[in-house]
Amino acid sequence: MATFEDVKAVIVEKLGVDADKVTPEARFVEDLGADSLETVELIMGLEDRFGITISDEDAEKIRTVQAAVDYIGSQQ
């Protein structure tokens, strides 16, 4: 089961943001400053960390930290 903290660790590493900015409501692009390439990096990082595959279609819908936690939970 993916915890918020596990997901947060990947986000901090891949986006290079301060940990305290990674709140459940935080949006990757608007709040955490991810550009399109970093968003791909992040999705690949989550796939690696949690051993799942995220389709491009699903990746489009994962726009917040909580959405990532929920999605990963649903896939495991």
Positions in the binding site for other proteins (CB under 8 A): 16-17, 37-38, 40-41, 44, 48
Which residue, 48 or 60, has its beta carbon nearer to other proteins?
48
In the bound complex, what is the minimum distance in angstroms from residue 33's beta carbon to other proteins? Answer: 10
Q: Which of 6, 18, 20, 35 is catalytic?
A: 35
Which residue, 43 or 65, has its beta carbon nearer to other proteins?
43
> Is 6 among the catalytic positions?
no
Do residues 42 and 65 touch, judged by C-beta distance below 8 A? no
Q: Which residues pair with 27 in a beta bridge?
A: 64
Q: Report which residue type is found at 32.
A: L
Catalytic residues: 35
